[in-house]
Amino acid sequence: MKKQKSMGNKGFSLVELIIVIAIMAILVGVMAPQLMKYVEKSRVSADTQVADTVRTAIMTAMLDPSVTATTLPTTVTDADSATIAKTSDANAFGTLVEEILGDTTANAAKKLKSKAYTGQKILYSIDANNNVSVKITANSGSSEGNLVIPEPTTATP
């Protein structure tokens, strides 16, 4: 004679499944706000990297032997207009910067992802000492301040 195996209940009951789902919902409710803060921080960090990339491209273009004091832009410019400066000689410099970036400067501004800087222009300037700075103005209502690369330093007495 064959022995029969008892077919006990296998699996989880409906009550057990509901309890697990409720616990998961509570965990998601607690963790989601914290996760969103970290996601936004990573987006601001990515925007900082975009600004630094533009600054590095400008500094690299300044090292080109064809760039002289007359071809170097001296005005603050925005990347959305796809021009580097308002002087006619600076168009070659702008083309050189875009070649180094591998993209147009207007597209660089479109890469901004954080709530603070999305849709803003990348502004940059070259001072009389050939120091390059890049600035992105924060959107109104943002808790982030303006993004400036390099960060401004204060003189200590």
Residue 8 belongs to some domain of the structure? no
How far, in Å, CA of 38 to CA of 147, rounded? 18
Residue 138 belongs to some domain of the structure? yes
By residue range, what is the domain housing residue 72?
A: 18-149
Residue 7 belongs to some domain of the structure? no
Amino acid 21: pLDDT: 97
How far, in Å, CA of 134 to CA of 24, rounded? 44
pTM as predicted: 0.67
Please list the pLDDT of the chain residue by residue as tens digits (157 residues): 566 666 666 788 899 999 999 999 999 999 998 898 899 899 989 988 988 988 888 888 888 887 776 666 655 454 444 334 434 455 677 778 888 888 776 778 788 888 888 888 888 877 777 788 888 888 877 777 787 777 765 545 4
Residue 1 belongs to some domain of the structure? no
**Three-class SS of the chain:** CCCCCCCCCCCCCHHHHHHHHHHHHHHHHHHHHHHHHHHHHHHHHHHHHHHHHHHHHHHHHHCCCCCCCCCCCCCCEEHHHCCCCCCCCHHHHHHHHHHHHCCCHHHHHHCCCCCCCCCCCEEEEECCCCCEEEEECCCCCCCCCCEEECCCCCCCC
Residue 132 belongs to some domain of the structure? yes
Residue 77 belongs to some domain of the structure? yes
Amino acid 82: pLDDT: 36
Specify the number of domains making up the chain. 1
Q: Which two tokens stand for residue 113?
A: 């992802």
Look-up: residue for tokens 């890469």? 111
Residue 58 belongs to some domain of the structure? yes
Residue 9 belongs to some domain of the structure? no
Amino acid 23: pLDDT: 97
